[in-house]
Structure 1
Amino acid sequence: MSNSLEGCGQITADFQFILFPVVFILVFVFGLTGNLVALYVFIFKITNHLSSNTYIINLAVVDTMFIFTLPFRIHYHLNKNNWIFENVTCKITGTLYHTNIYISSAFLTCICVDRYIAVVFPYTYIKLQKARYSIKVSMLVWAIAAGFMLSLLLYAPEINTRNNITNCFENFTSKQWSQQMAVYHICGLLFGFLIPFTIIMICYSLIARRISKIRNASSRKALRIIYITLSILILCFLPYHITHLLYFLARVGHIKSCSCTEVLYKLRRITMATVSLNSCFDPLMYYFATQIKKKRQFENDMQCRTGILGRIN
């Protein structure tokens, strides 16, 4: 597969025909299993409807929607990046592929803020549970995401055919990069990574300071959830956004070196595959979240039993 850039000729990255299918198959098998199990557990097995449950369920739904598009992407890359399906299918799968990154970042941020409030402001946290605040926040996230997805569906560049190869959501012209794609990349970097990462780092530092004072197990586990979230952002999302930003600068002419552009193109292909691994890593956070809930439920049960025994005595 080659990518044409003005002044640099054709840039090839044939390794992607193996990389994408292998990574996507792993994500489909393990990510789908983990997220479906999470949906079952958090919807049917966990009875205490805390706000963090709502965010986790929404995150699992986002991951599952994305994973169901992967068979199309696997076929596309096995077919040497030649799209054989309808244009509308390309737009839907491409939109879900890209928006998964930003919606996932939003709900990961919600989970961290939720843990921060629970640890630092426990009484406020209890009041927010009664107000079903998490449902309102989730609806807001989905409303913003729907607007972003609709704009992609309506205004994203169509599939393009060159040398009898039909590309889907890639190989855009320089004009498309400097117009439609520029807005998406700048907004994606800002709202999909920089703002969430900043908020999560603030939550991490404030929870860490709180833990140094109270030192209880529940707070330490809340911090562990933020560790996992930071790891997902740094390992999956950070390389993706850095390479996309640099490649965008190359496509609009701010990076002139052809050799540098070729390296950026290949790195971009790698990170486009590895960013999907977040759908496999998210279930790890679900696991630690359930451990916190089990411990909290046990403590509540023990308090109830102690109160009953006290009244009997």
Structure 2
Amino acid sequence: MAAFDNNTYQTNASAYFCKFNEDFKYILLPVSYTLVFVIGLALNFTALYLIVFRTKRWKPSTIYMFNLTMCDTLYLFTLPFLIYYYADENDWPFSEPLCKIIRFLFYANLYGSILFLCCISLHRFVGICHPVRSLYWVSGRRARLVSVAVWACVLFCQAPVLYFSRTSRICYDTTSPELFDDFLVYSSVVSFLLFVVPFTVVMVCYGLMVQKLLEPSWGSEGGRGTLASQRSKQKSVKMIIIVLAAFMVCFLPFHLTRTLYYAFRHIRSVNSISCKLLEASSIAYKVTRPLASFNSCVDPILYFLSGQDVWRPHVVFVSLVQ
């Protein structure tokens, strides 16, 4: 996922006198990214095959899942460069444009995944809590339009990354020291719009969905009160729990530790803050980087390899919104 400045780190400039050793990342990041690359590529290629060749009817969930899988796959292709980079201890041998593209694709994947998971959550919410209205609200055409809007939003919001990303023997994860304050403002705004807001929507939707599914009367209308509908209900509840857990494991720790680290780094540049505190936040941030990348492996596992309909993804999607 992300690069950082130096083996022996100094905040923004040597004048701030904070040095700490981070040799652990030269083992942690190459190993974790190699695992994500191998496992993620296999799972996402399988997911793409199932969607493209084994799904007869592309429902809205299928459209969102296809876009989510493409988002993950594009990011996975950047990992070999980062694996080499970190294994070589932050010595960037490639061009600056390639550094910019890799950083851009990471953040595009991160926030594209969040937004498409939000779309899937909203789709399920409508299908479960408003089944009649969903016949009008939910359609393949609307899903395609929403997907285009998501890609446009992600590309627009992440375009500044192409400006901020710089190289100086290293490929900066953030930006060059003199631009860090501007990057901090940009990153904070994007994190709020593309993480805090979607995460809140997902939490509210899943909370209401669980409440609805646990109602004794749910599934009894229209001939749904069958053993099959009960199994569908149980599977839907389990999937909601798994998605929420994965969301909080992959995305929440990364954003929390990154926010703390950026804030402490900024405070250190304008005021006094303990180097130990800055070091602790930096270590926590780096440890959560692989978790954010791991969503590329979790997405296909969640939506294809859960339950009994593993080789029939269209059946899985139908059961999830019933």
From 220, 223, 226, the equivalent of 2:237 is 223
**Distance in 1 (alpha carbons) for counterparts of 2:185 and 2:45:** 34
**Distance in 2 (alpha carbons) for counterparts of 1:229 and 1:49:** 22
Greater helix content? 1
Task: Indicate the SS of the match to 1:159.
Answer: coil
The answer (yes or no) to whether the contact 1:21–1:78 under 8 Å persists in 2 is yes
Deviation at 1:257, TM superposition (A): 1.4
| Partner residue in 2 for 1:267 | 284
Task: Indicate the SS of the match to 1:230.
Answer: helix
Provide structure 1 residue ranges, at least 5 long, that are not aligned to the other structure.
Answer: 161-165, 299-313
What number of residue pairs does the alignment pair up? 291
Quote the sequence identity (%): 31
**Distance in 1 (alpha carbons) for counterparts of 2:198 and 2:281:** 25
From 179, 191, 211, the equivalent of 2:193 is 191
From 145, 148, 160, the equivalent of 2:154 is 145
Deviation at 1:174, TM superposition (A): 4.7
Q: Kindly provide the CA deviation profile for residues 153-209 of structure 1, in whole angstroms up to 9, marking residues without a partner as x.
A: 1x214212xxxxx11123745542211x11332123213321122111111111112
- One-letter amino acid of the structure 2 residue matched with residue 207 of structure 1: M
Q: Kindly provide the CA deviation profile for residues 96-151 of structure 1, in whole angstroms up to 9, marking residues without a partner as x.
A: 11221111110111111111111111222222344621111100000011112322
Task: Check if 1:106 corresponds to 2:115.
Answer: yes
Deviation at 1:46, TM superposition (A): 1.2
Deviation at 1:286, TM superposition (A): 1.6
| Partner residue in 1 for 2:9 | 3
| Partner residue in 1 for 2:202 | 200
The answer (yes or no) to whether the contact 2:165–2:174 under 8 Å persists in 1 is no
Deviation at 1:226, TM superposition (A): 2.4
The answer (yes or no) to whether the contact 1:31–1:279 under 8 Å persists in 2 is yes
Runs of 4+ in structure 1 off by over 6 angstroms are: 295-298
Name the structure, 1 or 2, with higher relative contact order (CA <8 Å, separation 6+): 2
The answer (yes or no) to whether the contact 2:9–2:21 under 8 Å persists in 1 is yes
Provide structure 2 residue ranges, at least 5 long, that are not aligned to the other structure.
Answer: 1-6, 220-229
Q: Kindly provide the CA deviation profile for residues 204-259 of structure 1, in whole angstroms up to 9, marking residues without a partner as x.
A: 11111211221533233333332222112211111111111111111111671111
The answer (yes or no) to whether the contact 1:34–1:283 under 8 Å persists in 2 is yes
From 71, 84, 87, the equivalent of 1:78 is 87
**Distance in 2 (alpha carbons) for counterparts of 1:43 and 1:144:** 25
**Distance in 2 (alpha carbons) for counterparts of 1:278 and 1:78:** 22
Please report the RMSD computed on the Cα atoms of aligned residues, expressed in angstroms. 2.2
Deviates more, 1:125-134 or 1:239-248: 125-134
Task: Indicate the SS of the match to 2:191.
Answer: helix
Task: Check if 1:237 corresponds to 2:237.
Answer: no
